[in-house]
Every structure is written in C-alpha cells, then in structure tokens.
Amino acid sequence: MARKIIFASGKGGVGKSSLTAGVAIALCEIGFKTLVVDFDIGMGCLDLILAADDTGIFNWGDVINGICEPETALRTTIGPKLLVAPTSDDVAFTADAVKKMIASYDRDFDYILFDAPAGVSGGFLLAAECADEGIIVSTPDDVCVRVGQYAGDKLYSLGIENVRLIINRFNKKLTTHGHYLNVDEVIDATVLQLIGVVPEDRKLSYCSVTGMQILLKSPAKSAFYRIAKRIEGINVNLVI
C-alpha cells in the first residue's frame, strides 16, 4: 500500500507545487515508485513543472466518471507518474469517489503525493480525505506561518496526525538582517515538526517556465533529497 502525503498551505504561491514535484522526483531517483496527483482543480500546473508528456488527454475526473481506465490517465514525466486535475470545477466530486479512484493506484506505487490548492476547502478537503500524512509548506513570514498553522490544525481535525513542516524560500542573509523569521520562530509559530528547509533558489523559480529538468544541481534539489530521505525515516542533517 502506498504512503499518501498531502502538501498544503494556508496561503497561495508559497511553493506547494514546486516542492511536491521536487520531493517526488527525489523519491523516484532514490528508487521509489511515486505518483503525484494534482488537486488544484481548474488551475493545475504540475504537468508543466514536471515536463509531462503531451500525449495524455485524461485527468483524474475522467477516471471517476468512467471515461478512461485508471492506467490510461497516468502521464509520464521526468520523474514520477502524474494525474492531472480536472480542468474545471463545474462538476463536484464526492470524497468517496475520489478515495475510490486513488485506491485504484494504491498497489502500484510506494508513494502518492497530493498537491493541494491554497486554503482549506475544495481540492484541499478532497486530498485530505485521501491522505494519511501531511506536509505544510510555509515561507518564513508572519502571514504565511499564521495561516500555515491553521491549515495544519485543519489536517489534524480531519484525522491526519502526522503533519510536518517545510520552510520554503529560506534566505539566511535576509533572516539575519531581521527581514524574515528564523527557523525556530517558524517552528514555534506553526507548532509543527520540521522536516526540511528549502532555500530561495533562482533556478527553482525558472521551473514554472522550463520544467524541473533544469534542476540538475542546485541547493533546492539537494534540499528535496534530504526531505525525501527524512520522509523515509533516514537520519540526515538539517542544512540551513
């Protein structure tokens, strides 16, 4: 059975999709069969970040609606397999239908990562229903940590007990100058266990244009590896 992890945040644009993709690629390179599911209904972008093959036409809504077989909806990418999100939120999916659809992939993967939309409704709730573990992504600023804590609490209230934190876009220099919160301050404010810190990395910001294949060697890529290993329970140093 696959481990199912939701990547979520209170605030938008904090790096959920980039980090879901990066950690998924790292898990694949370590040797785990990994599936990424885009839950940003109507606004999915993981096919671009993961440079998916452009031959696929189906999304996970088509699987639920019986338009295609589960296997047919899988897209091939530079790393994990990908299920793209339905392109419109005109049709509401029930949590039971989404859970059943995800269950049809359970035996074929070691990990299934869910990229949630910002906030705590819609695709977030559907993904949370399917997940056993959670990762809250937060940038080191007051606004993001406040709503990040809220999103973490929401996951706990939905029965997900293992919720951890990734601090994204960390910039040591700006933190030292007091422009951003430091690591301890973010941990204290979110009340979550830290699983990794991803630095501000200009290369990663290009990935929404170029796809993640450009990240051959970069500080963000190294951070994704450390996070993937920690998810697996391997003891690796926290690099900040």
Ligand X SMILES: Nc1ncnc2c1ncn2[C@@H]1O[C@H](COP(=O)(O)OP(=O)(O)OP(=O)(O)O)[C@@H](O)[C@H]1O
CB nearer ligand X, residue 33 or residue 146:
146
Q: Are 170 and 199 in contact (CB under 8 A)?
A: yes
Binding flag, residue 205, ligand X (CB under 6 A): yes
In this structure, the number of other CB atoms found within 10 A of the CB of residue 90 comes to: 8
Applying CB under 6 A, among 75, 169, 221, 226 the residue interacting with ligand X is: 169
Binding flag, residue 40, ligand X (CB under 6 A): yes
What mask of x and - would describe binding to Mg ion in positions 10 to 49, judged by CB under 5 A? ------xx--------------------------------
In this structure, the number of other CB atoms found within 10 A of the CB of residue 57 comes to: 12
Kindly state the number of chain residues that form the binding site for ligand X, as judged by CB under 6 A: 21
Binding flag, residue 139, Mg ion (CB under 5 A): no
Binding flag, residue 12, ligand X (CB under 6 A): yes
Q: Are 84 and 39 in contact (CB under 8 A)?
A: no
57/28 Cα distance (integer angstroms): 24
Applying CB under 6 A, among 26, 64, 204, 228 the residue interacting with ligand X is: 204
Binding flag, residue 16, ligand X (CB under 6 A): yes
CB nearer Mg ion, residue 149 or residue 168:
168
Strand order in the sheet with 162-170: 75-76, 81-83, 34-38, 111-115, 3-8, 133-138, 162-170, 193-199
Rounded to a whole number of angstroms, the minimum distance from the CB of residue 10 to ligand X is 10
**Which amino acid appears at position 24 of this protein?**
A
Binding flag, residue 118, ligand X (CB under 6 A): yes
Binder of residue 198, out of ligand X, Mg ion, none (CB less than 5 to 8 A by kind): ligand X
Binding flag, residue 18, ligand X (CB under 6 A): yes
Rounded to a whole number of angstroms, the minimum distance from the CB of residue 67 to ligand X is 26
227/218 Cα distance (integer angstroms): 15
In this structure, the number of other CB atoms found within 10 A of the CB of residue 175 comes to: 17
97/150 Cα distance (integer angstroms): 27
Binding flag, residue 220, ligand X (CB under 6 A): yes
Residue the block writes with tokens 């671009």: 48
Rounded to a whole number of angstroms, the minimum distance from the CB of residue 17 to Mg ion is 3
Rounded to a whole number of angstroms, the minimum distance from the CB of residue 49 to ligand X is 7
What single string gives the DSSP state of each residue in 140-169? Answer: SSHHHHHHHHHHHHHHHHTT--EEEEEEEE
Kindly state the tokens that stand for 24: 């998924």
Residues near ligand X (CB under 6 A): 9, 12-18, 40, 117-118, 168-169, 198, 200-201, 204-205, 207-208, 220
**Interacting residues with Mg ion (CB under 5 A):** 16-17
